[in-house]
Every structure is written in structure tokens, then in C-alpha cells.
């Protein structure tokens, strides 16, 4: 069997690796339009000594498949400093530490007393007949408006750079929907799951957060994608965009921009949904239209380096998120030099601010100076950073994170129906069933396991 994979991000690379683990003799070619592998995994080491992540900055170590992939690639995983557990939300002119334990919830000023009481009322909150609620609808119904504004809304921007009024609960956080359906309450479900874990002798207690420890590598996230690319070797063709896809008998034909043609028995598209749509337009316009309907807002990642003696201890923690109600430009800022060693030169700190996203995508496309001016203004107001940065690097993503908006699950059903007419055509990547790094690795394994090889 000959397999072509389009896209050399983590989805494409991990899928190729999983297929070869099952069947080492399988013939695979991986096409990548850009001149580098990794996709949204994008690490740069600068001459100044900063290590900047232009995309994903880590993964949670709770998924064994990702840890296994690291071992197979010969890359040692690096757990984040304990500072990563301290996360903040900027609200009403102040930074508030997110509660890590139940008792901290009752003493935190992030929510007012009425807001905290409304969260406790979640045990008695009613259900909904809507099978596809937005995050806003769900959180307001179960936790109250204040908890939505100050907890759920910034979380949506932190994970998806998204708009919680449009994102689908069942598509973005299916486990939360499952817990409500099974236990009738998130709080009741959490307590029962914790008791179950204790009875089974588990040292890992379920919590309100996603669980796991933030993890990366000494040389940044690109260390893994680069290592996988080295193992895959000449199977990867960078700088080779696919212009169009057609079919002859039972084989797929790929036409490159340079006019070269390749044939394969199985075709796996692991590029963003909008590029999949472009390649498939002439082949199946209906399928292409469904793929083009998945939104990708613009996002800019701004890395700023400061000398420690000028700014002192910027923030003792992971960083902060900003609720949309605060009307700020930045979605949030991570203190990367607090999280992993080697992110900034000795005596310096590295911050990484996100701007744009589904709330205000136009901000991500501003000219450099205007963009940095907005970021610096927010960092001055929120962190008291008055010194000018010694280092600036901007990563722009005109189409960043796919948005699982209300109706996403129905869209996936229609896509699957269209694919029934095209045996051997497989669509993957973070546009469908999980945007995280872990999701991409897990889905790669599922694809490999289902192939008739």
C-alpha cells in the first residue's frame, strides 16, 4: 500500500510514525507546503538567547500516547516549574489568583460573595433540552453570569482564542457535558469521581481543571516535530504545495504546484481545514464547502524580553488571562521564563502575549508598531511594566486555531457522510476532534490502527 500524507505538522508526522510502527514497509510520502515541518508547532532560538514559541508552548502529561511518542523520538520531556500551577485572571483592575483548592475558592476575590454562592447553587441548577449549547449558555445556566464572565470566558480565549458565546460545549469540552448528563451536576459529579478515585487507590484526584502537568522540551516544542521529521527522513517533501486532488480508478492523484503528479492508495489530509478545502474544491465541492465553513480567526503571538534588573519579579506564576468584559487588547500573557529553563538569557525574563483571536481578529493584523504599542500598554496597566522591552518577536497567524462553534458536531457528521463516497480519503488535524497537541497525537494513533495494512 502506498500512502500520501499532506501536512507535516504534528498530526501528519505522528500519523506517519504510527503507521510505520504498525507496518514498517508501508510506502509513505509526506507533502508540506512550507519550507519547515511542525505547522503551528513553531520554536525559534534567537541570537539574543531567547527561546520563543510561536504556537503551542507545551502539552499536559496525562496522555500516555504523547509521552510514548516522545520516547520513540528520543526526546526527553521536561515538566514545567511549579510556578505553572499559579494562574491569574485580570478582573476589575486587579490580578486574581485562580483557586487551586476548594477552600481557596471561598477566600478568592475573583468572584463576589453572591457570585460564589451562585456557583455553589450549581448542584440544584436545572438541565437543558438543547443538545448543542454554547459555552456561554451552559456556564450561565449552571454557574451563573459572573462565573461565566470571569472564569469560563477567559478560559475559552486561553484554549481556543475563541468567543465563548459561539463555541460549542459538546465539541470543545465533551467531558463536561458527559459529567452533567451522568451526574446531573458538575460539583456532584466531581465529588463522586474523586471518591471513586480514592476507593481505587489512585493518587490522581480529578479536579475542576484539565489535569496533568504542563510539559515541553529543553529546546522547545519543535524538538519533537524535528526529531520525528529526522526519523521519517526522505519521506518528507517540504516546499511542495498540493494544487489539486483527483481520482483514477481506485487511486488518488495529487498534483503539485510545480506540475508533478503522485499516486497513492490512501490519502490522508492533515493540513488545516481551509487548505484541505482548497485542494478538494474541484474533486468534491460539497465537502470543500463544509471544510471551508470551519472558522480560523487571526492571532498574533508577541514575545517580549526584558532585563530583570529593570522589571524585577514580573509575576510569580504561569501568567494571566483577560475576560472580554475588561475590554483589553491582549487575551492573556504567559511568563515563559517562569515555566521552563533556558527560555531567556541570564538576567532576563520572557513574556508571551496573545492578541486578536475570535474576539477581535483585526488586532492581530495591525502593523508591528501599533500591535506592540497595544501590548505594552496592557502590560503596563496590568503588570506595571514601564520599561521598554529589549527584545521583540512577533508571530502572526492569519488563520490560527480552528473554532468549534455551535453546529460543529453536525458539520462533522455531514463531512463523514461525504467521505463515504471517497474510500481511502482520510481527513485529520486539529480542525475536527480536538485542538490540543495531545488530541492530535491520539487521533494519529486511531487513524493508523484503523488502516487495512
E strand segments, 261-383: 261-264, 266-269, 299-307, 319-321, 330-335, 348-356
pLDDT of 368: 97
pLDDT tens track for 59-86: 999 999 999 999 999 999 999 999 888 9
pLDDT of 270: 98
Residue range 2-39+223-295+404-450 forms a domain whose CATH class is: alpha beta
- Name 215's bridge partners: 59, 79
N-terminal to C-terminal alpha carbon distance within the chain: 7
pTM over 0.75: yes
Domain ranges across the chain: 2-39+223-295+404-450, 111-199, 297-397
- Name 334's bridge partners: 319, 352
pLDDT of 420: 97
- Per the structure block, which three cell numbers stand in for 54? 510561536
pLDDT of 206: 66
C-alpha to C-alpha distance for 156 and 165, rounded to whole angstroms: 10
pLDDT tens track for 24-48: 999 999 999 999 999 999 999 999 9
CA-wise closest residue to 429 among 3, 10, 4: 10
DSSP, residue by residue, 98-136: PPSSHHHHHH-SSS-HHHHHHHHGGGG----S-SS-BHH
Q: Which CATH architecture has domain 297-397?
A: Alpha-Beta Complex (3.90)
Task: Using DSSP, state whether 189 is helix, strand or coil.
Answer: helix
C-alpha to C-alpha distance for 1 and 448, rounded to whole angstroms: 13
Task: Using DSSP, state whether 19 is helix, strand or coil.
Answer: helix
| Pairing of β 94-97 and β 236-237 | unpaired
Q: Which residue has the cell 483589553?
A: 328
| Mean pLDDT within 400-424 | 98
- Per the structure block, which three cell numbers stand in for 90? 485580570
**What letter does residue 402 receive in the DSSP assignment?**
P
pLDDT tens track for 121-167: 999 998 899 999 999 999 999 999 999 999 999 999 999 999 999 99
pLDDT of 348: 97
pLDDT of 211: 79
pLDDT tens track for 340-388: 999 999 999 999 999 999 999 999 999 999 999 999 999 999 999 999 9
Q: What is the Rg, in whole angstroms, of the alpha carbon atoms belonging to the chain?
A: 23
Beta strands across the sheet bearing 2-6: 236-237, 27-31, 2-6, 266-269, 425-427
* Residue 60 Rama label (left phi>0; alpha psi -120 to 50; beta): beta
pLDDT tens track for 176-220: 999 999 999 999 998 898 888 788 776 666 666 677 899 999 999
C-alpha to C-alpha distance for 82 and 75, rounded to whole angstroms: 22
Ranges of H-type helices in 281-330: 285-292, 308-311
The mean pLDDT value of the chain amounts to: 95
- Name 256's bridge partners: 242
Contact 308, 347 (CB under 8 A): yes
C-alpha to C-alpha distance for 367 and 268, rounded to whole angstroms: 37
Task: Using DSSP, state whether 414 is helix, strand or coil.
Answer: helix
What is the H or E stretch that residue 154 is in? Answer: helix 153-160
Q: Which residue has the cell 510556578?
A: 83
Q: Which residues contact 336 (CB under 8 A, 6 or more apart)?
A: 51, 52, 53, 57, 303, 343, 344, 350, 351, 352
Contact 217, 43 (CB under 8 A): no
Contact 271, 10 (CB under 8 A): no
Which CATH number among 1.10.3110.10, 3.10.290.10, 3.90.1150.10, 3.30.43.10 corresponds to the domain 111-199?
A: 1.10.3110.10
C-alpha to C-alpha distance for 352 and 375, rounded to whole angstroms: 10
Share of the chain above pLDDT 90, in %: 90
Q: Is the dihedral of CA 14, 229, 268, 33 positive or negative?
A: positive
Alpha carbon 223 to its chain's center: 18
Amino acid at each position: 500500500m502506498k500512502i500520501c500524507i499532506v501536512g507535516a505538522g504534528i498530526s501528519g508526522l505522528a500519523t506517519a510514525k504510527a503507521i510505520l510502527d504498525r507496518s514498517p514497509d508501508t510506502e509513505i510520502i509526506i507533502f508540506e507546503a512550507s519550507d519547515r515541518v511542525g505547522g503551528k508547532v513553531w520554536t525559534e532560538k534567537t541570537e539574543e538567547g531567547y527561546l520563543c514559541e510561536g504556537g503551542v508552548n507545551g502539552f499536559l502529561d496525562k496522555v500516555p500516547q504523547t509521552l510514548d511518542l516522545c520516547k520513540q523520538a528520543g526526546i526527553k520531556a521536561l515538566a514545567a516549574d511549579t510556578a505553572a500551577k499559579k494562574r491569574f485572571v485580570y478582573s476589575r483592575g486587579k490580578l486574581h489568583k485562580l483557586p487551586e483548592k476548594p477552600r481557596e475558592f471561598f477566600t478568592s476575590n475573583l468572584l463576589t460573595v453572591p457570585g460564589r454562592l451562585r456557583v455553589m447553587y450549581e448542584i440544584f441548577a436545572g438541565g437543558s433540552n438543547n443538545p448543542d449549547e454554547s459555552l456561554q449558555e451552559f456556564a450561565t445556566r449552571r454557574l451563573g453570569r459572573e462565573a461565566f464572565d470571569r472564569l469560563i470566558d477567559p478560559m475559552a480565549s486561553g484554549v481556543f482564542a475563541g468567543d465563548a458565546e459561539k463555541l460549542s460545549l459538546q465539541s470543545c469540552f465533551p467531558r463536561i457535558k458527559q459529567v452533567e448528563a451522568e451526574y446531573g451536576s458538575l460539583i456532584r459529579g466531581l465529588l463522586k469521581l474523586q471518591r471513586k478515585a480514592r476507593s481505587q487507590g489512585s493518587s490522581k484526584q480529578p479536579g475542576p481543571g484539565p489535569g496533568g502537568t504542563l510539559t515541553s522540551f529543553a529546546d522547545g516544542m519543535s524538538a519533537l516535530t524535528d526529531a520525528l521529521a529526522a526519523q521519517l527522513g526522505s519521506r518528507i517533501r517540504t516546499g511542495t504545495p498540493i494544487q489539486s486532488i483527483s481520482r483514477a480508478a481506485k487511486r488518488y492523484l495529487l498534483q503539485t504546484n510545480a506540475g508533478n503528479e503522485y499516486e497513492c492508495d490512501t490519502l490522508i489530509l492533515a493540513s488545516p481545514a481551509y487548505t484541505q478545502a482548497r485542494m478538494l474544491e474541484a474533486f468534491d465541492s460539497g465537502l470543500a464547502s463544509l471544510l471551508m465553513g470551519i472558522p480560523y480567526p487571526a492571532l498574533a503571538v508577541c514575545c517580549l524580553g526584558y532585563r530583570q534588573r529593570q522589571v524585577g519579579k514580573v509575576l510569580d506564576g504561569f501568567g494571566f488571562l483577560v475576560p472580554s468584559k475588561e475590554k483589553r487588547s491582549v487575551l492573556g500573557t504567559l511568563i515563559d521564563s517562569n515555566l521552563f529553563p533556558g527560555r531567556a538569557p541570564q538576567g532576563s525574563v520572557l513574556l508571551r502575549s496573545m492578541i486578536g483571536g475570535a474576539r477581535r481578529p483585526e488586532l492581530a493584523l495591525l502593523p508591528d508598531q501599533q500591535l506592540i504599542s497595544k501590548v505594552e500598554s496592557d502590560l503596563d496597566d496590568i503588570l506595571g511594566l514601564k520599561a521598554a522591552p529589549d527584545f521583540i518577536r512577533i508571530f502572526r497567524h492569519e488563520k490560527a486555531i480552528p473554532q468549534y462553534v455551535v453546529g460543529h458536531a453536525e458539520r462533522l457528521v455531514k463531512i463523514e457522510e461525504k467521505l463515504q463516497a471517497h474510500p481511502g480519503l482520510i481527513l485529520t488535524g486539529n480542525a475536527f476532534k480536538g485542538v490540543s497537541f495531545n488530541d492530535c497525537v491520539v487521533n494519529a494513533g486511531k487513524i493508523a490502527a484503523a488502516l487495512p495494512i
